[in-house]
Amino acid sequence: MRVVRLRAAGGPEQLAVEEADKPRPGPTEALVRVHAAAITRGELEWPVDRLPATPSYELSGVIEEVGTGVAGVADGDEVFALTPFDRDGVAADYTAVRAELLAPRPRALGHAESAAIPLPALSAWQGLFDHGRLGADERVLIHGAAGNVGGFAVQLARAAGAHVIGTASAANLGSVRELGAHEAIDAATRFEDAVEPVDVVFDTAGGDRLRRSLAVLRAGGRLVSVAAEPPDGGVYFTVEPNRDQLRSLARLVDGGDLRPPPVEVFPLTSAPEAFARSLEPRRRSKVVLAVAA
Ligand SMILES: NC(=O)c1ccc[n+]([C@@H]2O[C@H](COP(=O)([O-])OP(=O)(O)OC[C@H]3O[C@@H](n4cnc5c(N)ncnc54)[C@H](OP(=O)(O)O)[C@@H]3O)[C@@H](O)[C@H]2O)c1
């Protein structure tokens, strides 16, 4: 089978598409025929201590075989997943994944769009609800609301019944409103002067916006960031795989309440070009490798 490998520390120029044996699933694993594998900006910097490494930690595909101890998923299931960052990713024809990470993929989408969901949407879910404890009827300010994580956060917060305020650069304000934000604020302006106190700030942009955010939190409010370490009292977290949350996300997609960002699709054999594209600044789409024909 074909597998993408990062051979040495560096950027897309260190990637190669190689031949390898098809993996065998362990007792708690499923062998997945990968149809699409999504790329996260900057992810080639992560596996520095375990090179050579296979990149891409989000997949959509079809289960081909399950290990002897696996229950709950079966051959032929169409699934999607976020896979752990501390082991090889999924940019290959086949991958063996812990079966407990696999969720039924959204039926309303194709494989490429399904693969574009897990990392940014789980980041948004965990930021808003696990760390931010956002409740219906609460107010949330989302920084970077037009980005991949921010765009999911706007939709999820809206679907949960919150009052949603998003910051974005001026050119993106229309799309923030279209995603469901009640208020969209130009990030170049002083949002502190425009926003009534909020219960949760969810930051995906870092920098100055994050530093100034304590000013808009009401007493007892929560400040959460996926982008950078926040000021005193705030929480930074790293997204984790979660099958139950993926199930909920797929249901929201199939119910028409959640949609993925636009995807740009490259064939697996063009992995270096795809990773180079993912690094281009101000790109709004999610870059996805199409693996199976
Ligand atoms: N900790 C974790 O587990 C985790 C998980 C996922 C993502 N992340 C991090 O969270 C951040 C957002 O991820 P994402 O996938 O949503 O990224 P993205 O799609 O690129 O969106 C980031 C948004 O931030 C704003 N931004 C501000 N300064 C920027 C700059 N210099 N370059 C590009 N965008 C800038 C942009 O919006 P405007 O220009 O409209 O303001 C952009 O839409 C990234 O830093 C990513 O590394 C962390």
Burial 97-107 (b: 16+ CB within 10 A, else e): bbbbbbbbbbe
Using a 6 Å CB cutoff, which residues line ligand 1?
Answer: 42, 119-120, 123, 144, 146-150, 168-169, 172, 187, 204-205, 226-227, 238-239, 281-282
* pTM metric for this prediction: 0.97
**Position in ligand 1 atom list of the atom nearest CA 284:** 19
Under 8 Å between Cβ of 113 and 134: no
**Position in ligand 1 atom list of the atom nearest CA 146:** 43
Among 292, 279, 288, which residue's Cα sits nearest to residue 38? 288
**Position in ligand 1 atom list of the atom nearest CA 239:** 3
In the three-class reduction of DSSP (H, G, I as helix; E, B as strand; rest coil), residue 151 is classed as helix
d(CA 204, CA 227): 5
Domain boundaries, the chain: 2-117+260-290, 120-236
Q: Would you write out the chain's pLDDT as a tens digit for each of its 293 residues?
A: 999 999 999 999 999 999 999 999 999 999 999 999 999 999 999 998 999 999 999 999 999 999 999 999 999 999 999 999 999 999 999 999 999 999 999 999 999 999 999 999 999 999 999 999 999 999 999 999 999 999 999 999 999 999 999 999 999 999 999 999 999 999 999 999 999 999 999 999 999 999 999 999 999 999 999 999 998 889 999 999 999 999 999 999 999 999 999 999 999 999 999 999 999 987 789 999 999 96
Query: Best of 226, 239, 245, 287 to mutate for ligand 1, by most ligand atoms within 8 A of CB?
Result: 226
CATH code linked to domain 2-117+260-290: 3.90.180.10
Superfamily of the domain at 120-236:
NAD(P)-binding Rossmann-like Domain (3.40.50.720)
